[in-house]
């Protein structure tokens, strides 16, 4: 029981790990003993984050655009240049797009669906063997998909492709889970609510105002996201297969 949440000796890869939710998860994993690789498209911010987090534990940056099936292959190849086995994969990198219904462009679908749905599937596929090698160490390997409460309940903003992609990712998590548990790989997801990030600039820049619409009366903190991810990644979350953990201070149920 004392080691229930330990990640000691485990290797994790977090896409979109240079900021926001990805950085929060990376920080939590490092504090619990993991060796963490973080990826992003832009090297500057990524390397700054890796340097900052390396004060806690080993954090290695990988500069790569993981979007779509081709990007997933490049991301997998880059990771496998460092490690042969993977214990924890966090599919966090994502994109959003908002536009009025009559003006919503095809590009707003392609960009969002490629990164939010295709990448989690194909990156997991390309790292399947590495995850199986991680599971061969004597514990389950883990895949954690970062969805959104917008895939669970309806956001009033006109973010059509984002809502569809996150809802699709939640269902994809279930489908992948019942296949990959056969290989001792547990797949689950987190649906975050309002956390400060570049994607959720309202929460980042106007947190007090956003908090008024949240039953918990605050936006999410680093500890909230890190705690949820550490739970799913560790032995504590081994029996969570295919489920999506909503971490939102009650917003989903308050939407009605």
pTM, whole model, 2 decimals? 0.95
Give 86-144 pLDDT, tens digit per residue. Answer: 999 999 999 999 999 999 999 999 999 999 999 999 999 999 999 999 999 999 999 99
pLDDT digits (tens, 9 = 90+) for 172-222: 999 999 999 999 999 999 999 989 866 666 655 556 778 888 999 998 999
Residue 244 has pLDDT above 60, yes or no: yes
* pLDDT cut 90: percent of the chain above it: 88
CA atoms of 19 and 49, how far apart (whole Å): 7
The pLDDT value recorded for residue 3 is 94
Average pLDDT for 53-74:
97
Instruction: Give the residue numbers marked as catalytic.
Output: 162
User: What secondary structure does DSSP assign to 87-144, as a single string?
Assistant: SEEEE---------GGG--HHHHHHHHIIIIIHHHHHHHHTHHHHHHHHTTSS-EEEE
Please check the confidence at residue 25 and state whether its pLDDT lies above 80: yes
């Amino acid at each position: 029981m004392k080691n229930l949440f330990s990640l000691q000796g485990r290797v994790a890869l977090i896409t979109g790990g240079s900021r926001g939710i990805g950085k929060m998860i990376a920080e939590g994993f490092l504090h619990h003993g993991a060796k963490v690789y973080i990826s992003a498209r832009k090297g500057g911010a990524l390397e700054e984050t890796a340097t900052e987090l390396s004060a806690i534990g080993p954090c290695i940056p990988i500069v790569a655009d993981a979007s779509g099936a081709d990007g997933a292959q490049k991301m997998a190849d880059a990771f496998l240049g460092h490690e042969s086995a993977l214990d924890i994969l966090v599919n966090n990198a994502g994109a959003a797009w908002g536009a009025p219904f009559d003006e919503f462009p095809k590009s707003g679908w392609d960009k969002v669906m490629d990164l939010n749905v295709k990448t989690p599937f194909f990156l997991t596929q390309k790292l399947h063997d590495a995850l199986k090698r991680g599971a061969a160490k004597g514990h389950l390997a883990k895949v954690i998909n970062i969805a959104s409460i917008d895939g669970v309940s309806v956001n009033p903003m006109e973010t059509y492709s984002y809502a569809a992609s996150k809802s699709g990712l939640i269902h994809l998590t279930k489908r992948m889970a019942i296949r990959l548990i056969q290989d001792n790989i547990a797949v689950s997801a987190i649906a975050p609510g309002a956390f400060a990030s570049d994607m959720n600039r309202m929460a980042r820049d106007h947190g007090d105002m956003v908090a008024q619409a949240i039953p918990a009366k605050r936006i999410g903190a680093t500890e909230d996201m890190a705690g949820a991810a550490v739970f799913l990644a560790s032995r504590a979350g081994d029996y969570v297969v295919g489920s999506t953990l909503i971490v939102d201070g009650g917003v989903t149920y308050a939407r009605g």
